[in-house]
Structure 1
């Protein structure tokens, strides 16, 4: 469980720098250059992700059950992941009303992802991982929207929305029907 916690601290910590120190990125880039910032940020994120995956895998091998989720919660989680993937696509593809309206579509996507997985899983490792990401996403979404409320809203288009929805649905389908089972070992629909 220690590796899971270390991974969570590193991943969430790196991705919380913008929340706790808004100017840090710009200061590091001004002093050391954008490439060094990218290398440090990406390197720390990658190490954290490896620790998180390893730790979660170890914790799943000997689960400490806190509750037994009902069968319907797996179906609800699979359906909740559809808007999560659409919001993920909105965070990656420019020009949608969805991203413009939410301003923080990635944090909204993580909120839905974490909630869906908390709903469908009942171990201590699940509570630690998905609960931590849910708390981070709620805080990130709220603080960054408040902080950036004075900034102009980027324009969006119906074509941008269509592109985001199609990409999100396609990503969800590929992950739900193939990649989740391959990478995680759990098949949401089978």
Structure 2
């Protein structure tokens, strides 16, 4: 299997996996079997493996240029990617009942932590990653890949917020979300949220290490240097 067939099949499998969190009964059944931590670890590991498969499959698909790669896009990627990785490092497993990668326990609506900066950090990270890479890659396979990811992440935010509002009721949703941000930094700019509490040093260190690893491995693994 190769070419367009592998690319399409990898994309379908990736999207099928990410439909699981929206299936509440299925997700709950899995959590009952392996626990919340097991669910987070298993979902993250499988999702990452499938993501790499889709990316490699796009690279093996026939090359059809739609637009040439702009030279400045390398600078854009190098500015965006540290933000993307740090959003993931600070958001995954943090107290945040709004996001599928967060946890409900420990969330304080008066001091919402990273949710005060952004309620859907992983989906925003995916949107920024895919949007920046869409600009930088003008061939058909990568335009499809990153375009689908961009639409998926933006639509996922809308669907996640709507489901939480429906499950909790508008009044409870608004109470919990009062000091949080739909758009990154929205509550900070409006003055509804200010950073407080301990600085998550370990998460920041993990984010820096992961970003450095991705930056150095991009050329040998993906085949393209991230250098501008």
Report the TM-score range of the alignment, normalised by the length of the smaller protein. 0.7 to 0.9
C-alpha distance in 1, partners of 2:118/2:66? 34
1:69-80 equivalent positions in 2, closer than 5 A: 69-80=69-80
Runs of 4+ residues deviating >6 angstroms: 40-44
Residue 49 to residue 8, structure 1, CA distance change in 2 (3 Å): same
The structure carrying a bigger helix percent of its residues is 1
> What per-residue deviation string (whole Å, max 9, x for no partner) do you get for residues 87-125 of structure 1?
111223536822454232111111111011101111111
TM-score w.r.t. the length of structure 2 is 0.65
Aligned residues: 183
> What per-residue deviation string (whole Å, max 9, x for no partner) do you get for residues 126-156 of structure 1?
11111111111111122213333528469x8
1:142 maps to 158
Unaligned runs of 5+ in 1: none
Give 1:82 deviation, angstroms.
1.5
TM-score w.r.t. the length of structure 1 is 0.77
RMSD over aligned CA atoms reads: 3.4
1:168 maps to 207
Q: Does 1:9 align with 2:12?
A: yes
C-alpha distance in 1, partners of 2:176/2:140? 42
